[in-house]
Structure 1
Amino acid sequence: MKKKALLLGLLASMLWSKSNAQQHSEQNHDKYVWPKDELVKQKLNKWQDIKFGLLMHWGTYSKWGIVESWSLCPEDEGWCERRGESSSNWYEYKKAYENLQTTFNPTQFTPEKWADAAQKAGMKYVVFTTKHHDGFCMFDSKYTNYKVTDAKSPFASNPKSNIAKEVFDAFRKKDFMVGAYFSKPDWNTPSYWWPYFPPKDRNVNYDPKKYPEKWQQFKDFTYNQIEELMTQYGKMDILWLDGGWVRPFESIDPTISWQKTIPYNQDIDMPRIAAMGRKNQPGLLVVDRTVSGEYENYVTPEQQIPDHYMPIPWETCMTMGGSWSYAHNDQYKSTRQLIHTLVDIVAKNGNLLLNVGPSPEGTWDNDVYNRMEEIGKWMTVNGESIYETKPAAPYRQAQWAFTQKGKATYITYLAKEDEKTLPATLVLPFKSVGKKGIIRILGESKALKGKEVADGISIIIPEKVRQNLTNQPAWVFKLQAE
């Protein structure tokens, strides 16, 4: 048993080291290229100021409550596992999966309700999945019949059948910045997974160098669909491209495990796509995820927060629950955890893009609405420590997070899980605010008295203030310099 335990411990250590090394590799963005286009710079600055956005993964896969698209991928990975009667035969499974188009009918779809809840939570931008890797379009593309607006879909007769358009319009009316998630790989179109060959993995199933005409068909198909989104869906702020294995071969980073398995050069001509996008949408932010360089205007660590401040534009995309797409009885993160996540990210110079997966009926779980409302209550009081702020050294330290705006420094005290009330005395880890400086806690108008000590500024918090601000996930102290 001891030998087995030792082996398990060594294995866990190796796996942790590999994961940790990959995380640090993905946080190393020496190849980041700052945009030169003035309109792109302006939009990037605006995006960095708004801090908090909503991502939605939604498609026919919500009918089964399974992981989005990945069960189609013939790789032996846990997230690709198939379920159901046809799971033992990939070809039958793919047919059954694609037949979900004929029953996907989200008659309770009301994007205005989503936009209202997101706005009240303090979110300022939205990114919506127009097409995931499975190729099913949640918009009215003329280049495929595998779409929600096709006659095969019972929702096609609904006035709101062009789902992406309805979502973008609803959020735009609430003054959100709007982004289109778009998968570069497409496992439905025959110019990516060519039926002549069986697919082996997530990648294109033929050598583009050997079959250049076939690859050109795919490049044109991709360009044309993105052009539809850039010309027919109103003002667009962000083109958020997923599927980072579709990339030029020379851009592969062999230190990242999933990238070193890419077998082919899958260059889809990003210069052409970006030029078209910005011609139609001046200042468009292009986010070619994980492909460092000119077309990754901000980087997007997934389901993780960098362990340190990063001086470049970045965004953590993270699920509110346990799944990107709708899952039956999903378990959602607590309000405390979500607010701590936002504060941590902002202190390190990032944005939080929080994901929700709508149900097959077109609704959100009640828990989602509850979390949104609770986050909104905290943001109403403390949002000034988030929006339009810059990180302040030391950024994150124990239970503290630091941001600044003008002459104001915000020091956020992150409550421990069982900590319902502020301590009666605290030492703020800050040198001085000067003789005429003012210290307040957001949510209370009366200034606090502070005394400089060796470790910072010692303050006494009146009992009335402590009771007024009980059961908060975090408390923010505002230090206004003279």
Structure 2
Amino acid sequence: MKRRQLLKHLGAAIPAVALAPYARAASPLTHVGTGPIAAGPFAPTWESLSTYQTPDWFRNAKFGIWAHWGPQCEAEHGDWYARGLYEEGSDHYRYHVEKYGHPSKFGFKDVIQQWKAERWDPDALLALYKKAGAKYFMALANHHDNLDLYNSRHHPDWNSTKIGPKKDLIGGWRRAARANGMRFGVSVHAAHAWTWYETAQGADKKGPLAGVPYDGKLTLADGKGTWWEGRDPQALYAQNHPLSKSGGDGGVWHDQWHWGGGAAIPTKAWCENFFDRTRDLIDNYDPDMVYFDDTVLPFYPFSDIGLRLTAHMYNRSIAKKGKNEAVVNGKILNEQQRRSMVWDIERGQSHQIEPLPWQTCTCIGNWHYDRSLYERKTYKSAQTVVHTLIDVVSKNGNLLLSVPVRGNGSIDEQERAIVEEIGRWMAVNSEAIYDTRPWAMYGEGPVAKEAATPMSGAGFNEGKGKPFSAADVRFTAKGKTVFAFVMGWPATGKVLIEAMGSASPHLAGRIQRVELLGSKRALAFEQTAEGLQVTLPANMPALAYASALKIS
């Protein structure tokens, strides 16, 4: 298929100027797959996928918890460790040399082998997360480090059942999630390994080992007499290719993340192996959700891999359940793509009520466990998480919260305390969260009035605006009932909600009753042209940083 025909087949609804670097980088465009997908109404085109309807279970759930946990947590040194350990002079490199040795002798494959996950107890963690109010659970199936955390038939030498923990982690998470009545999702990040691991092709530029190659170019033959004898490191590192273009294009952090800017384009065979691995994951572990950590979808726009996997996920769900109950997450989506899957915003939020359901994914710390955050006691507070949840839900979104897991499979006591406090808040206020829909407006107050903080790439605008206070209100609705969250406890003991005044165009009639969730008593209120003024109880509740008024 010619280049122009393939781009049309992929449904690339983005400007031609934006497509130009992708097309050049991927030429000749031969990445149209032949691997089978489940039969059904969805074809691997945007036109077909754009008929997707987000299932009610996701719209009603509102809150999920994520274990973004894999071998990079073994070092407990934060994000992108498997890349950073090969960057001479970086914090990861210095830590790695001191803890494990030089990356020419002890690379990330060896870190994987040391990872044992000896304290992993999925049943206990999922019971805790259910008590915290999470309705769905997401487990990392692989990261950019390219290790599959399940019994991967198409990645047999580099998966968690064969090395490291020697456990089927996705299987254990899935069983525990189902036992706790939670929807189950998997996150897939490995499409980026091809360029992300390129630092492993390097060598020190100075020092006693200057010029000695790191282990990223090792081959099957090099393993004789080692612990990894018989395993091909290139099946993990995927570095038997020329490096991506270097220079002012931002590298893997920017243009090359989207397969532009001179990124080295993976071979069709490597992409098809990713397809086989991911289809195997879907078929054998039956997730309700698949989160792709990609701009739009894996290998988009030079390959149809992601489109085929999405169509397979949807058709398979229909075949098994009689209707499409599946959710697929993608990032940086245009309008057509947002109709085709659920838009995910990483560490950020929309500033409006979105017409379609969406999701914020964020973390109380770093994505991979970082011991220094624990030592400095700098995790996000339960208050920050609750405020984020309310704001996201008021705008038609869900919150997926990552709770970092230590290398050994446990969470620390600070994290546990945060999760438990979220659970105590949800026990009182979840009626105003679950099964709700946006009201006529998402909120009012100082934060709503400030200029929108622009998103950067996949999101990354959280924490850049004003903090919430008792002057801020957020709304949700359920039938004829409206919930108004007061984002703090006013010193005056009274709340004025301007949007609910007697002349409000958003109300069908006069307000009859106001109560505070957690208390069945009616509250005194006065509805005037100025707004709805509510007198709060004299006794402030325990977690008063966000209180829900039930207005009917």
TM bracket, shorter-chain basis: 0.7 to 0.9
In 2 relative to 1, CA 95–274 (structure 1 residues): closer, same or farther, beyond 3 Å?
Answer: farther
SS across alignment from 1:186: helix
1:173 — aligned with what?
Answer: 179
Q: Are 2:487 and 1:414 aligned?
A: yes
Deviations 1:411-452 (A, max 9, x none): 11001xxx5x66323223312475571111111111122222
Q: 1:300 aligns with which of 332, 344, 350?
A: 344
Q: What amino acid sits opposite 1:298 in the alignment? A: V
Deviations 1:168-192 (A, max 9, x none): 1101221211111011223475598
* Deviation of the 1:275 alpha carbon: 2.9
The whole-number CA distance in structure 2 between the counterparts of 1:196 and 1:351 is 40
The whole-number CA distance in structure 2 between the counterparts of 1:94 and 1:441 is 62
SS across alignment from 1:122: coil
1:247-326 correspondence to structure 2 within 5 Å:
265=302, 267-282=303-318, 283=324, 284-292=326-334, 293-294=336-337, 297-321=341-365, 323-326=366-369
1:262 — aligned with what?
Answer: none
Alpha-carbon contact 2:289-2:327 (below 8 Å) kept: yes
Q: Are 2:549 and 1:477 aligned?
A: yes
The whole-number CA distance in structure 2 between the counterparts of 1:409 and 1:190 is 54
* Deviation of the 1:271 alpha carbon: 3.0
- Gaps in structure 2 of 5+ consecutive residues: 1-45, 198-233, 246-250, 319-323, 446-471
Q: What amino acid sits opposite 1:66 in the alignment? A: H
SS across alignment from 2:295: coil
Deviations 1:341-399 (A, max 9, x none): 11111111111110111111110111222112111111111111111111113312121
Alpha-carbon contact 1:52-1:353 (below 8 Å) kept: yes
Alpha-carbon contact 1:71-1:80 (below 8 Å) kept: no
2:123 — aligned with what?
Answer: 112
The whole-number CA distance in structure 1 between the counterparts of 2:135 and 2:382 is 18
Which deviates further from its counterpart, 276-285 or 168-177?
276-285
* Deviation of the 1:61 alpha carbon: 1.1
The whole-number CA distance in structure 2 between the counterparts of 1:219 and 1:86 is 33
Q: 1:228 aligns with which of 280, 292, 296?
A: 280
Number of residue equivalences: 412
Q: 2:289 aligns with which of 190, 213, 238?
A: 238
The whole-number CA distance in structure 2 between the counterparts of 1:313 and 1:85 is 42
2:193 — aligned with what?
Answer: 186
Q: What amino acid sits opposite 2:549 in the alignment? A: F
Query: Normalized against structure 1, the TM-score is what?
Result: 0.76
SS across alignment from 2:496: strand
Instruction: Give the % identical residues.
Output: 22
Q: Are 2:403 and 1:403 aligned?
A: no
RMSD across aligned C-alpha pairs, in angstroms?
A: 3.4
The whole-number CA distance in structure 2 between the counterparts of 1:102 and 1:298 is 36
- Gaps in structure 1 of 5+ consecutive residues: 1-31, 252-264
The whole-number CA distance in structure 1 between the counterparts of 2:137 and 2:91 is 27
Which deviates further from its counterpart, 108-117 or 43-52?
43-52
The whole-number CA distance in structure 1 between the counterparts of 2:352 and 2:158 is 43
2:159 — aligned with what?
Answer: 147
2:203 — aligned with what?
Answer: none
Q: What amino acid sits opposite 1:69 in the alignment? A: W
* Deviation of the 1:94 alpha carbon: 9.2
Deviations 1:27-76 (A, max 9, x none): xxxxx989566xx52x5332011100112211111121233435516998
* Deviation of the 1:196 alpha carbon: 3.9
1:163 — aligned with what?
Answer: 169
Query: Normalized against structure 2, the TM-score is what?
Result: 0.67
Q: Are 2:270 and 1:218 aligned?
A: yes
In 2 relative to 1, CA 274–353 (structure 1 residues): closer, same or farther, beyond 3 Å?
Answer: same
The whole-number CA distance in structure 1 between the counterparts of 2:363 and 2:136 is 16
* Deviation of the 1:86 alpha carbon: 4.3
1:373-392 correspondence to structure 2 within 5 Å:
373-392=420-439
Deviations 1:239-262 (A, max 9, x none): 11113287667x5xxxxxxxxxxx
Q: 2:441 aligns with which of 383, 389, 394?
A: 394
Q: What amino acid sits opposite 1:324 in the alignment? A: W
